[in-house]
């Protein structure tokens, strides 16, 4: 039997963070009541359990929006302080301004300060404990990499360091040493894999595609033996997909059908009905929001973006059908008088007000009209111009696969990858889009909506 695995998976870490955020927040309120005259959250009231449940809901939802459960943020005591303060502020505001389902707003406004301090301080104390004791090599996923191509192993090592720091690379096995001298290379000529994983308490074995006969002959029987004992053995491609959340580049070849499948949700009538209902309801609220802000947009456009307010552009929709997208104009007039040109970062064609519209994503708001008409969805691959689709399809034959579902106002590629201004970057975004098509479900859609809200709040727009 394999040794006991002390590591926490990504889902386990996020669950741990959520559970103890709630526990510490409620304990913080209890301590605040004991030390100060804090009676807003009265533990003797018959509604206390309902109030606790509402508080937990607000805390978890707003914590998700303010990236409390982004593991990169959670592992940094300064970034998590920022997120904890924002989460504490908005949890307090939501809680006191919904007195129908929460305690009545107190007359003594110090009670509001007590509530904020109790939530924020207690959650941050727990997060410091998490960083100190849980986010440590003792609880990391301990992996060993086996492969015959040193370049591919090096790429994998770099990706793990960047995307999955909660994995500890114990070492690798390869016929040639890689450039990274900080990672131990094992020579197992006289040592079995079984002894190696026991000695170093390996919790996962990542196997890169190896083609040399000596590797195949030597390690395959040992890997089979370890698999039968219950060890976690993963192909490098599956491992890369799990940590990067995009389709591996090696899957986009003539054997793509072995790896790319439609999500089951694609055929699920209930999911599709819910998805369209969400689009319609979201579009209605989006259009109402646009009506509210239109006076301010008109003033900004008049002063710093002189010219027409809207622009209409042909885009490729589901099944390759063309439609006219509606956006707020962010570029100078006649920006493409010489033909379609890729937009780039810090594009000098973008006006001052246009930069603000892009940073806040307000330029995208009129697309709710496209969503209501059914041209687009709230979530999906971004619609591209037919000229660019044709160009990209010549370089990347799998590009048009993204058109099997409706394009979206936001999507997995948009929240996971910055603005793409080159063909190579578009190829990376394509792999994110294909991952969404393969995995799409209600939970993933919810994640995209929350990440989009975070992107807007932190001004991460283009």
Model pLDDT for residues 189-247, shown as the tens digit of each residue: 766 888 899 999 899 999 987 665 566 677 888 889 999 888 999 999 899 999 999 99
Q: What is the pLDDT of residue 211?
A: 61
What single string gives the DSSP state of each residue in 273-285?
A: HHHHHHHHHHHHH
Domain identity same for 41 and 176: no
Q: What's the whole-model pTM score?
A: 0.86
Q: What is the pLDDT of residue 190?
A: 65
Domain identity same for 213 and 346: no
> Is 5 inside any structural domain?
no
Buried b (16+ CB within 10 A) or exposed e, 417-444: beebeeeeebbbbbbbbbbbbbbbeeeb
Q: Residue 159: which domain range? A: 140-244
Q: What is the pLDDT of residue 3?
A: 53
Last residue of a domain, one of 112, 134, 156: 134
52 token code pair: 């606790």
Pick from 203, 206, 227, 205: nearest CA to 142? 203
Report helix, strand or coil for 456: helix
Going from the C-alpha of 68 to that of each of 118, 124, 390, 460, the distances in angstroms are 17, 10, 41, 17
Domain identity same for 275 and 424: yes
Cα–Cα dist 384/390, whole Å: 10
216 token code pair: 């195949």
Q: What is the pLDDT of residue 12?
A: 85
Domain identity same for 127 and 155: no
How do residues 390-406 score in pLDDT, each as one tens digit? 999 999 989 999 999 99
366 token code pair: 């009129």
Domain identity same for 313 and 424: yes
207: part of which helix (H) or strand (E)?
strand 204-207
Longest dimension (CA), the chain: 78
Domain identity same for 288 and 233: no
Domain identity same for 296 and 388: yes
Domain identity same for 310 and 453: yes
- Own/partner pairs for 416-425, CB < 8 Å, 24+ apart? 416/245, 416/246, 416/451, 418/462, 419/343, 419/345, 419/462, 421/342, 421/343, 421/344, 421/345, 422/342, 423/391, 423/392, 423/395, 423/396
CA dihedral 47, 50, 52, 53 (to 10 degrees): 180
> Is 252 inside any structural domain?
no
Residues 193, 208, 223: CA angle, nearest 5 degrees: 30
Q: How many domains does the chain have?
A: 3
> Is 309 inside any structural domain?
yes
Domain identity same for 436 and 287: yes
> Is 250 inside any structural domain?
no
Domain identity same for 164 and 39: no
Last residue of a domain, one of 104, 134, 164: 134
> Is 108 inside any structural domain?
yes
Pick from 351, 352, 359, 368: nearest CA to 292? 368
Q: What does residue 271 show for φ and ψ, rounded to 5 degrees?
A: -65, -45
- Residue 181 sits in a domain whose CATH number is 3.40.50.1380
Cα–Cα dist 291/285, whole Å: 10
165 token code pair: 């720091």
Domain identity same for 130 and 154: no
Q: Name the stretches of the chain with pLDDT < 50.
A: none
Domain identity same for 106 and 74: yes
> Is 327 inside any structural domain?
yes
* C-alpha radius of gyration, the chain, whole number: 26
């Amino acid at each position: 039997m394999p040794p006991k695995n002390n590591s926490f998976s990504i889902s386990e870490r996020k669950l741990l963070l959520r559970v103890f955020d709630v526990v510490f927040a409620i304990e913080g309120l209890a301590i605040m009541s004991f030390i100060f005259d804090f009676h807003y959250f009265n533990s003797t009231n018959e509604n206390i359990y309902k109030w606790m449940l509402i508080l937990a809901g607000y805390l978890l939802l707003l914590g998700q929006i303010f990236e409390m459960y982004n593991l990169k943020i959670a592992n940094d005591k300064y970034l998590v302080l920022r997120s904890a303060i924002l989460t504490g502020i908005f949890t307090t505001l939501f809680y006191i301004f919904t007195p129908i389902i929460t305690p009545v707003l107190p007359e003594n406004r110090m009670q509001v300060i007590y509530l904020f301090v109790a939530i924020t301080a207690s959650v941050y104390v727990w997060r410091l404990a998490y960083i100190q004791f849980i986010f440590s090599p003792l609880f990391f996923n301990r992996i060993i990499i086996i492969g015959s191509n040193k370049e591919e192993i090096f790429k994998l090592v770099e990706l793990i360091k960047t995307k999955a720091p909660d994995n500890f690379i114990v070492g690798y096995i390869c016929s040639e040493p890689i450039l990274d001298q900080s990672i131990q290379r094992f020579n197992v000529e006289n040592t079995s894999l079984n002894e190696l994983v026991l000695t170093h308490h390996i919790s996962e074995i990542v196997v890169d595609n190896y083609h040399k006969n000596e590797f195949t002959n030597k390690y395959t029987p040992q890997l089979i033996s370890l698999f039968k004992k219950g060890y976690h053995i993963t192909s490098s491609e599956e491992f890369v997909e799990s940590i990067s959340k995009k389709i591996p580049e090696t899957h986009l070849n003539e054997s793509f059908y072995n790896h790319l499948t439609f999500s089951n949700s694609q055929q699920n009538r209930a999911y599709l009905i819910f998805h369209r209902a969400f689009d319609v309801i979201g579009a209605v609220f989006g259009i109402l929001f646009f009506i509210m802000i239109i006076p301010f947009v008109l003033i900004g456009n008049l002063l710093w973006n002189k010219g027409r307010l809207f622009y209409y552009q042909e885009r490729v929709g589901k099944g390759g059908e063309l439609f006219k997208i509606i956006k707020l104009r962010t570029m100078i007039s006649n920006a493409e008088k010489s033909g379609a040109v890729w937009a780039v970062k810090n594009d000098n064609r973008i006006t001052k007000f246009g930069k603000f519209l892009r940073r806040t994503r307000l330029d995208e708001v009129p697309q709710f009209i496209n969503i209501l008409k059914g041209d687009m969805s709230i979530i999906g691959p971004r619609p591209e111009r037919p000229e660019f689709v044709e160009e990209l399809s010549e370089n990347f034959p799998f590009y048009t696969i993204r058109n099997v579902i409706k394009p979206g106002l936001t999507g997995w590629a948009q929240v996971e990858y910055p603005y793409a201004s080159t063909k190579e970057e578009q190829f990376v975004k394509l792999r994110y889009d294909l991952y969404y098509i393969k995995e799409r479900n209600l939970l993933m859609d919810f994640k995209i909506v929350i990440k989009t809200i975070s992107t807007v709040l932190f001004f991460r727009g283009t």
